[in-house]
Amino acid sequence: MKTKIDINSRFDSFQKYSLYQGLDKKSKDDIKDIGLEHQLTFQELKQLTDMAVDFQMWEEPGIGTQWKQNTQSLNYSNKQLKENVFNSIKSHWKSLKKNETTYTRKNKRNYSSAGRKLKEINGDNEVFGMCPVASEKTVCCNLKTIDVAQGCGLGCSYCSIQTFYENGSIAVE
């Protein structure tokens, strides 16, 4: 004998899903309304949330907007409507996933790094050796490097030593 699961208790347990918690309030409300109205399963709620997160990142219309648009274009019974709308949104999501990634966001940050300068030096120093900060207590690449005091050319982003020398210039003999 099957026991009927209360849709509200199903949704209460679903709300703990971390991606759902990270959505904005409107998307959460839309998913909740759709889930309760159409009695979506836990897995369907999870898939809808995953798609909502991606749509938000891709700057596509929200999941609620897409659900309404697809509902208006289809005319089926409630169960068929749910399946067809869900599948339509899912196929749209899959087609967007297959597209080439573009990074043209409106609020995109512009990152630029300072150019490195070459400086010529004269000397007989042994410059190739272990990174001077390499130890078990530091985060370091532990590779053989050019002496940082003369300008290591590897430029590890986490290297704290290189910032003390010559404003990022690299010394060459």
Pairing of strands 128-130, 144-146: antiparallel
- Phi, psi (deg, nearest 5) at residue 81: -60, -50
Pairing of strands 118-120, 144-146: unpaired
H or E element in which residue 44 lies:
helix 42-57
Adjacent-strand bridge partners of 55: none
Contacts of 171 (CB under 8 A, 6+ apart): 118, 119, 120, 121, 150, 151
Q: What does the pLDDT read at residue 1?
A: 43
* pLDDT tens digits in sequence order for the chain, 173 residues long: 445 567 778 788 888 888 888 899 999 999 999 988 888 888 999 999 999 999 998 889 999 999 998 888 776 666 788 888 999 999 999 999 998 877 666 666 666 666 666 666 666 666 566 666 667 776 666 666 655 555 555 566 666 665 555 555 555 55
Q: What does the pLDDT read at residue 137?
A: 72
Q: What does the pLDDT read at residue 106?
A: 64
Q: What's the length of the chain?
A: 173
Q: What does the pLDDT read at residue 94?
A: 93
pTM for the model: 0.56
Q: What does the pLDDT read at residue 114?
A: 63
Q: What does the pLDDT read at residue 63?
A: 93
